[in-house]
């Protein structure tokens, strides 16, 4: 059995105090939003409780699905790097970025250098592009995508782009021949209902790639809520699993948490179930449900 932790959207707090010169355009809008609403939704104590629970469960690998920072202040990136280091070594912690990690054009690619060790595949990309990249760990292959692009104020959309999608199809095909359990990591969900300003703009094209080449499991973040959907693959439905924010306080409304996926079997006979772990009002984290995915 191989265990894979799935967490997302830690939105690490507290927000560093920005300089006046750093507050312009979208960053100013995000800063005001943080002060009025978002700061109450992301608690450093909640994230610490999730970190402790992760270490207690001792997963074989950890997948972090983006939105580590909030408004892309330069001071946020070292704090996020420290968070990743607390989770484990870069070999054991894989990251894909979210829209907040590329929040403004000036720092839209800062995450690539700040968190490079967690964003590096087993082998260099053939075309020099950072995404997609692949990490093989035990019986699984993590196929890592980026939907992170700077957008206009009040938009939180994501885009993969033609080149990533073409490469994704080739990777899914080749890795299937290796007999590995293919896990696609992506921040923006490629299916389901959400407001137009939060969608993956080329979700339909992504679903077409999965319909042609398949995958065993797709993990995403972005919505800050637990979800389980599926999209068609060439041999049946492919599970699409969402996760709450890792830093949301324990409450009745959108409590924080993470997922623990257990993968068994071999090619042609895979089994996978997920244990959904949730932050409680008393600050503890415990399992709230277990569900078979495959």
State the pLDDT confidence band at 124, using cuts at 50, 70 and 90. Answer: confident
Q: Which two tokens stand for residue 16?
A: 């560093």
Task: Give CA torsion, residues 261, 264, 266, 272, to 10 deg.
Answer: -40
CATH no. for residue 20? 3.60.21.10
Long-range contacts of 27-33 (CB under 8 A, 24+ apart): 27/71, 27/72, 27/73, 27/103, 27/104, 29/153, 29/154, 30/70, 30/71, 30/103, 31/71
Q: Decide: 80 and 115 in contact? Cβ < 8 Å.
A: yes
In order, the DSSP letters of 126-195 are: TTS-S-SEEEEETTEEEEE--------TT---B---HHHHHHHHHHHHHHHHHT-EEEEE-SS-SSS---
Q: How far apart are CA 239 and CA 102, in angstroms?
A: 27
Q: Give the residue numbers spanning the domain of 258.
A: 2-292
| Per-residue pLDDT tens over the stretch 150-182 | 999 999 999 999 999 999 999 999 999 999 999
Q: Is the pLDDT assigned to residue 126 strictly greater than 80?
A: no
| Per-residue pLDDT tens over the stretch 206-223 | 999 999 999 999 999 999
Best CA proximity match to 10, nearest among 49, 60, 57, 56: 49
State the pLDDT confidence band at 78, using cuts at 50, 70 and 90. Answer: very high
Percent with pLDDT over 90 in the chain? 95
Give the DSSP H or E segment for 83.
Answer: helix 76-87
Tokens 């709230």, residue located: 288
HSE value, Cβ hemisphere, 13 Å, CA-based, for 275: 14
Q: Is the pLDDT assigned to residue 128 strictly greater than 90?
A: no
- State whether residue 269 is helix, strand or coil: coil
| Per-residue pLDDT tens over the stretch 5-26 | 999 999 999 999 999 999 989 9
Q: Decide: 227 and 186 in contact? Cβ < 8 Å.
A: no
Q: Decide: 224 and 192 in contact? Cβ < 8 Å.
A: no
Total domain count, the chain: 1
Buried b (16+ CB within 10 A) or exposed e, 169-178: eebbeebbee
The counts of H helices and E strands in the chain are 6, 12
Q: How far apart are CA 48 and CA 50, in angstroms?
A: 5
**Quick one: average pLDDT of 81-93?**
98
β strands within 73-112, DSSP E? 93-95
């Amino acid at each position: 059995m191989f265990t894979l932790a799935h967490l997302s959207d830690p939105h690490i707090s507290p927000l560093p105090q920005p300089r006046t010169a750093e507050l312009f355009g979208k960053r100013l809008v995000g800063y005001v939003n943080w002060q009025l609403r978002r700061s109450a939704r992301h608690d450093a104590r909640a994230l610490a409780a999730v970190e402790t629970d992760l270490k207690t469960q001792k997963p074989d690998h950890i997948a972090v699905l983006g939105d580590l920072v909030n408004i892309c202040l330069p001071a946020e990136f070292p704090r996020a790097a420290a968070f990743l280091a607390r989770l484990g070594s870069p070999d054991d912690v894989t990251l894909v970025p979210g829209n907040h990690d590329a929040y403004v054009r000036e720092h839209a690619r800062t995450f690539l250098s700040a968190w490079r060790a967690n964003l590096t595949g087993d082998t260099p990309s053939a075309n020099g592009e950072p995404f997609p990249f692949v990490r093989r760990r035990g019986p699984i292959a993590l196929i890592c995508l980026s939907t992170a692009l700077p957008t206009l104020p009040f938009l939180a959309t994501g885009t993969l782009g033609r080149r990533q999608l073409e490469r994704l199809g080739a990777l899914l095909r080749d890795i299937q021949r290796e007999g590995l359990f293919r896990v696609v990591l992506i921040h923006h969900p490629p299916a389901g209902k959400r407001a137009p300003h939060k969608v993956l703009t080329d979700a339909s094209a992504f679903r077409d790639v999965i319909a042609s080449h398949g995958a065993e499991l797709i993990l995403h973040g972005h919505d800050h809520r637990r979800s389980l959907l599926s999209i068609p693959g060439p041999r049946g439905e492919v599970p699409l699993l969402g996760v709450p924010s890792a830093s949301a306080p324990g409450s009745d409304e959108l409590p924080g948490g993470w997922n623990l996926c257990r993968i068994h079997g071999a090619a042609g006979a895979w089994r996978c179930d997920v244990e959904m772990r949730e932050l409680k009002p008393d600050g503890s984290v415990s399992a709230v449900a277990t569900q078979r995915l495959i």
